[in-house]
């Protein structure tokens, strides 16, 4: 008998319930926590986004997936595959790449897609062989006339790029090939993440035919004391236009971005800088570093192993990122799934030229439904305003805050160099001068559970006309389930409250809160699992616990559920 996947899933859940492995309340919670418009498979473990691309008008997302359970299962990991016409609604296909050969029998790990001349896609991925050595392999579509690219063929020459004692590369730290780019000499380049001792490396390779690859004498970029570099991403951004660029673009109006995922800390950092085409080396701007506190990150919360691609149909660069869990291993087993993807974001260079700005893709607005317009409201000291008329567990909030008098701002202590620690010390319940003010989302009646996303404004110790803006995502009260990770996140936002209104956009989706501050200059993503709202009584508030009134305006929308796999 052939079962449909839905019926099979129902049968498994029924058996777990009958044997007492799952309780009915846990099943209800698992359903309640399921997201409505963030990408995730029907079940099991998901991690890195792999090789996103557009081909013949169809968007493709490949991703690391364990078909055997909710744990990482790296020996069984495959490239799962879904397609879309709008990056919001997705159709699943059979796995594109899976362990089948001696060079990848212990896992088909992360990689990228490059569009070759003539529009032919090529997957470069890390395979783990029978000796648990990592090497880089190549696959092509079986049928280029198929816009869904359902079948892929691994070439017989694999592996194309290997770690050997002769090239002084550790075969256990050699993975995640980037999208390749063409240089002015018509040779391809790509980078592979690695390390030498504690130094993180982006090892550079060159090729004329995309088959024979030669290691360069020096890495594209490296940094001491970073440890293993995973999922390196290297791409150009325009200094003059609000458009994305093809990965091979260079020129006087182009800067480059280098992003790396640090295996040691599970954090990501990006730098902006200059790509010296003649010397094949990347030079970060002065002060642009891959380190805590002073380093720039796409996202200061749950966000890792990110990957960008150039959307040639709309001339934009789009960022995907894996959002991992805050629930326990047992919690993941009870849910039947682990991990999802952030909403795709457009990436542009800020007008300052020193950092990036990110914004959810415009297609997300297709899911908007019930709308509440927030009139000009003055939130006085200690006030709380409940937002009614939308579904607060699946919504988008866009709000601006304006403060007419900045005199009550607390003095900023120069020793406060770590914004995450500062947010933990001065959480949402700690009254301040200017702030905290912001949102209480996924909140229960009586606020026993809530996730706070908010701002605080401080004034400089040495310059009374200069201010520091802190953005926080406080999960310390997000759940009564103490097995969950309820860490508080934070970052400083490069905005001037004297001349700019503070904006906040939060995407609320059952167990995820994805927030964008300063019109996309800072992003914080949280995973939260409140227990008191599973019966549907979820609430949304705007609050001001500071000593100075704050004027707000904004919009709130309920969001429809996307068609997801």
Q: Return the active site residues.
A: 48
Residue 447 · residue 405 · CB < 8 Å: no
Residue 382 · residue 545 · CB < 8 Å: yes
Tell how far CA 119 is from the center of its chain.
Answer: 27
Pairwise CA distance, residues 350 & 356, whole Å: 5
β-strands 44-55, 58-66 pairing: antiparallel
E strand or H helix at 422, and its extent?
Answer: helix 419-425
| Percent helix / strand / coil, the chain, rounded to 5 | 10, 45, 45
**24: phi then psi, degrees, rounded to nearest 5:** -55, -40
Half-sphere exposure of 123 (CA within 13 A, CB side): 30
Pairwise CA distance, residues 493 & 520, whole Å: 10
Residue 157 · residue 182 · CB < 8 Å: no
State the burial class of residue 1 (Cβ atoms within 10 Å of its Cβ: 0-12, 13-18, 19+): exposed
CA distances (Å), origin 517, targets 140, 261, 352, 450, 470: 40, 22, 16, 19, 10
DSSP labels for 18-76? HTTSS-HHHHHHHHHHS-SSS---SSEEEEEEEEEEEETTEEEEEEEEETT-SS--GGG
Return the structure tokens found at 320.
Answer: 């995907």
Residue 188 · residue 208 · CB < 8 Å: yes
Compute the C-alpha angle 288/289/295, nearest 5°.
95
Residue whose structure tokens are 């390196």:
232
Per-residue buried b or exposed e for 271-281, using 16+ beta carbons within 10 Å of the residue's own CB: bbbebeeeebb
Return the structure tokens found at 113.
Answer: 């897609």
SS3 354: coil
Order the strands of the 512-517 sheet from edge to edge: 368-379, 550-559, 394-402, 502-509, 512-517, 522-527
DSSP labels for 474-543? E-TTS-S-TTS----EEEEE---TTTS-EEEEEEEESSEEEEEEGGGTEEEEEE---STTTTS--EEEEE
Pairwise CA distance, residues 304 & 320, whole Å: 9
Compute, in degrees rounded to 10, the torsion defined by CA atoms 293, 299, 301, 303.
-120
């Amino acid at each position: 008998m052939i079962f449909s996947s839905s019926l099979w899933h129902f049968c498994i859940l029924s058996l777990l319930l009958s044997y007492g492995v799952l309780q009915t309340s846990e099943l209800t919670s698992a359903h309640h926590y399921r997201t409505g418009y963030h990408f995730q498979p029907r079940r099991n473990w998901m991690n890195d986004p792999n090789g996103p691309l557009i081909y013949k008008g169809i968007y493709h997302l490949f991703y690391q997936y364990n078909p055997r359970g909710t744990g990482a299962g790296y020996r069984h990991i495959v490239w799962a595959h879904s397609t879309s016409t709008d990056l919001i609604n997705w159709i699943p296909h059979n796995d594109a790449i899976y362990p089948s050969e001696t060079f990848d029998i212990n896992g088909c790990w992360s990689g990228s897609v490059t569009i070759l001349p003539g529009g032919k896609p090529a997957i470069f991925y890390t395979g783990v062989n029978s000796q648990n050595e990592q090497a880089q392999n190549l696959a092509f579509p079986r049928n280029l006339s198929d816009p869904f690219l359902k079948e892929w063929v691994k070439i017989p020459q694999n592996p194309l790029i290997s770690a050997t004692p002769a090239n002084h590369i550790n075969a256990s730290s050699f993975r995640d090939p980037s999208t390749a780019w063409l240089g002015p000499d018509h040779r391809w380049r790509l980078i592979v993440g690695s390390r030498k001792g504690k130094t993180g490396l982006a090892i550079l390779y060159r090729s004329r035919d995309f088959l024979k690859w030669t290691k360069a004498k020096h890495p594209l970029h490296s940094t001491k004391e970073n440890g293993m570099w995973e999922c390196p991403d290297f791409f150009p951004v325009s200094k003059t236009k609000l458009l994305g660029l093809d990965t091979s673009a260079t020129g006087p109006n182009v800067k480059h971005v280098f992003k790396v995922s640090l295996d040691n800390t599970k954090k990501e950092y990006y730098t902006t800088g200059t790509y010296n085409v003649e010397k094949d080396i990347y030079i970060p701007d002065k002060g642009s570093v891959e380190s805590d506190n002073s380093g720039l990150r796409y996202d200061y919360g749950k966000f890792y192993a990110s990957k960008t691609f150039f959307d040639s149909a709309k001339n934009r660069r789009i960022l995907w990122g894996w959002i991992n869990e805050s629930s326990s291993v047992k919690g993941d087993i009870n849910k039947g799934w682990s991990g999802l993807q952030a909403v795709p974001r457009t990436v542009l260079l800020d007008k300052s030229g020193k950092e990036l700005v990110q914004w959810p893709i415009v297609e997300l607005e297709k899911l908007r439904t019930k709308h509440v317009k927030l009139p000009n409201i003055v939130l006085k000291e200690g006030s709380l305003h409940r937002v009614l008329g939308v579904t607060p567990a699946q919504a988008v909030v866009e709000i601006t805050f304006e403060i007419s008098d900045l005199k009550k701002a607390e003095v900023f202590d120069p020793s406060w160099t770590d914004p995450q620690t500062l947010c933990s010390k001065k959480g949402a319940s700690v009254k301040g001068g200017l702030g905290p003010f912001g949102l209480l989302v996924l909140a229960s009646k009586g606020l026993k559970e809530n996730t706070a996303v908010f701002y605080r404004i401080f004034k400089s110790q040495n310059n009374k006309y200069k201010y520091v803006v802190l953005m926080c995502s406080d999960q310390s009260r997000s759940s009564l389930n103490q097995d969950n990770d309820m860490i508080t996140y934070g970052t400083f936002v490069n905005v001037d409250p004297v001349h700019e209104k503070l904006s906040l956009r939060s995407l609320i989706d059952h167990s995820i809160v994805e927030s964008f501050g300063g019109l996309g200059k800072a992003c914080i993503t949280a995973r939260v699992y409140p227990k008191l709202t599973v019966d549907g009584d979820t609430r949304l508030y705007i609050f001001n616990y500071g000593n100075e009134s704050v004027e707000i305006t904004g919009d709130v929308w309920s969001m429809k559920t996307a068609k997801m796999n």
